[in-house]
Amino acid sequence: MKKFFTILFCLALFAPATLNAGSGLYCSATGATAVSLSCRAYDNATIERVAIKLSAAATTSQNVVVTLDSGLGAAYDTVVRVFNPQALGGTSFVWSPECPLSIGPTDAIVVTYANTDTLTYGVTIRYSL
């Protein structure tokens, strides 16, 4: 679990997602309410990292949940990472899958966080095709 937080901590929040093409493909969101970022590559892709930046350390114990939202349906959805920013301390978090995390064209990676503290956040999901 410590390896998950070695670099930084990044988080996706509730805001319109941005899909950017080119050499660095990513979805991102920013805001100060609950986080709910869904990133779909519309092609076969590999998730490289999820990054979350909070404006201050969280004071409420709540989990950030990263889920593989399967295009096959809810029965196939899989939680791939859970962490609690308040328990970890700090404001920046990055998770890079230890093994390749491949998604298909109908799959998505979803990041959620209740953000009761109403911290301003920036969340990025970076992937490659």
pLDDT digits (tens, 9 = 90+) for 22-70: 457 999 999 999 999 999 999 999 999 999 999 999 999 999 999 999 9
State how many domains the chain has.
1
How far is it, in rounded angstroms, from Cα 43 to Cα 3? 29
Mean pLDDT of 4-16: 32
How far is it, in rounded angstroms, from Cα 109 to Cα 129? 14
Q: pTM value? A: 0.82
pLDDT value, residue 70: 97
Looking up residue 56, the CATH number of its domain turns out to be: 2.60.120
pLDDT at 15 over 70: no
How far is it, in rounded angstroms, from Cα 58 to Cα 89? 7
Confidence of residue 21 (pLDDT cuts 50, 70, 90): very low
Domain region containing 17: 2-128
How far is it, in rounded angstroms, from Cα 6 to Cα 8? 6
